[in-house]
Amino acid sequence: MIEQIKFEIKNLLEKYYKDNGFDVSIVVETPKDPKLGDISVPMFTVVKVLRKPMPQIVEEALNIIKNASLPIKDLKSVGAYINLFVDKEVLSEKILLKCLNEGENYGNSNIGLGKNVTLDYSSPNIAKSFSIGHLRSTMIGNSIKLILKKCGYNTFAINYLGDWGTQFGKMIVAYKKWGNKEVIMNDPISELTKLYVKFHEEAEKDPSLDDLAREAFRQMELSNPEYLDLWKWIREESLKESAQIYDLLEIDFDSYNGEAFYNDKMDPIIKELEEKHLLHEDQGAMIVDLGDNIPPALIKRSDGGSLYITRDLAAVFYRKKEYKFDKILYVVGNEQKLHFEQLKMLVDKMGYDFSDQIVHVNFGLYLTNGKKASTRKGNVVKLYDVLQTAIKLAYDLISEKNPNLKNKDTIAKYVGIAAIVFADLKNYRGSDIDFNIEQAVKFEGQTGPYLQYTSVRIASILKNVEFDFNNISKELFEKEHYFELVRLVSEFQSTIEKAANEASPSIVAKYLLNLAASFNHFYSIEKINASDEKVRNTNLALAKSVRIVLNEGLRLLGIHYLDEM
Choose the stretch contacting ligand ARG; rule: CB under 6 A; options: 120-128, 415-423, 466-474, 557-565.
120-128
Nearer to ligand ARG, 125 or 166 (CB): 125
What DSSP state is assigned to residue 281? E
Minimum gap (Å) between residue 127 Cβ and ligand ARG: 11
Minimum gap (Å) between residue 309 Cβ and ligand ARG: 9
Minimum gap (Å) between residue 21 Cβ and ligand ARG: 54
- Per-residue b or e along 301-313, where b marks 16 or more CB atoms closer than 10 Å to that residue's CB: beeebbbbbbbbb
Nearer to ligand ARG, 82 or 332 (CB): 332
β partners of residue 157? 119
Nearer to ligand ARG, 127 or 290 (CB): 127
Nearer to ligand ARG, 362 or 490 (CB): 362
Size of site (CB under 6 A) for ligand ARG: 8
Minimum gap (Å) between residue 250 Cβ and ligand ARG: 22
Rule CB under 6 A: is residue 414 a binding residue for ligand ARG? no
- Amino acid making up residue 96: L
- Which of 191, 312, 491, 526 binds ligand ARG (CB under 6 A)? It is 312
Task: State the Cα–Cα distance between residues 308 and 262, nearest whole angstrom.
Answer: 11
Q: E strand or H helix at 84, and its extent?
A: strand 81-86
β partners of residue 77? 82
Nearer to ligand ARG, 151 or 332 (CB): 332
In contact, 311 and 298? CB cutoff 8 Å? no
Task: State the Cα–Cα distance between residues 234 and 232, nearest whole angstrom.
Answer: 5
Nearer to ligand ARG, 125 or 454 (CB): 125
Instruction: Considering only residues 58 through 77, tell me which ones interact with ligand ARG, judged by CB under 6 A.
Output: none
Nearer to ligand ARG, 92 or 306 (CB): 306
**93 φ, ψ (degrees, to nearest 5):** -60, -45
**Reading across the β-sheet that carries 285-288, which strands appear in turn?**
279-282, 285-288, 297-300
State how beta strands 279-282 and 285-288 pair: antiparallel
What ranges make up the beta strands (E) of 250-326?
A: 279-282, 285-288, 297-300
What DSSP state is assigned to residue 260? G
**116 φ, ψ (degrees, to nearest 5):** -105, 130
- Which of 87, 120, 237, 491 binds ligand ARG (CB under 6 A)? It is 120
Minimum gap (Å) between residue 173 Cβ and ligand ARG: 20
Collapsing DSSP states into helix, strand and coil, what is residue 95? Answer: helix
Q: Which residue is nearest to ligand ARG (CB)?
A: 162
Nearer to ligand ARG, 379 or 399 (CB): 379
Nearer to ligand ARG, 106 or 253 (CB): 253
Instruction: Considering only residues 146 through 205, tell me which ones interact with ligand ARG, judged by CB under 6 A.
Output: 160, 162
CA 225 to chain centre: 41
Minimum gap (Å) between residue 181 Cβ and ligand ARG: 26
What DSSP state is assigned to residue 306? B
Minimum gap (Å) between residue 166 Cβ and ligand ARG: 13
Site string for ligand ARG, 458-497 (x = CB under 6 A): ----------------------------------------
Site string for ligand ARG, 122-151 (x = CB under 6 A): -x-x--------------------------
Choose the stretch contacting ligand ARG; rule: CB under 6 A; options: 117-125, 237-245, 390-398, 457-465.
117-125
Site string for ligand ARG, 325-344 (x = CB under 6 A): -----x-x------------
Q: E strand or H helix at 498, and its extent?
A: helix 492-501
In contact, 144 and 182? CB cutoff 8 Å? no
Nearer to ligand ARG, 332 or 420 (CB): 332
In contact, 341 and 294? CB cutoff 8 Å? yes
In contact, 325 and 114? CB cutoff 8 Å? no
Choose the stretch contacting ligand ARG; rule: CB under 6 A; options: 61-69, 119-127, 245-253, 399-407.
119-127
Choose the stretch contacting ligand ARG; rule: CB under 6 A; options: 28-36, 118-126, 484-492, 549-557.
118-126
What ranges make up the beta strands (E) of 283-333?
A: 285-288, 297-300, 327-333
- Assign residue 356 a region (left: φ > 0; alpha: ψ between -120 and 50; beta: otherwise): alpha
With CA atoms as reference, report the closest residue to 507 among 521, 494, 519: 494
Minimum gap (Å) between residue 386 Cβ and ligand ARG: 18
β partners of residue 368? 371, 435
Minimum gap (Å) between residue 382 Cβ and ligand ARG: 15
With CA atoms as reference, report the closest residue to 422 among 406, 442, 402: 442
Nearer to ligand ARG, 116 or 402 (CB): 116
Q: Which residues bind ligand ARG (CB under 6 A)?
A: 120, 123, 125, 160, 162, 312, 330, 332
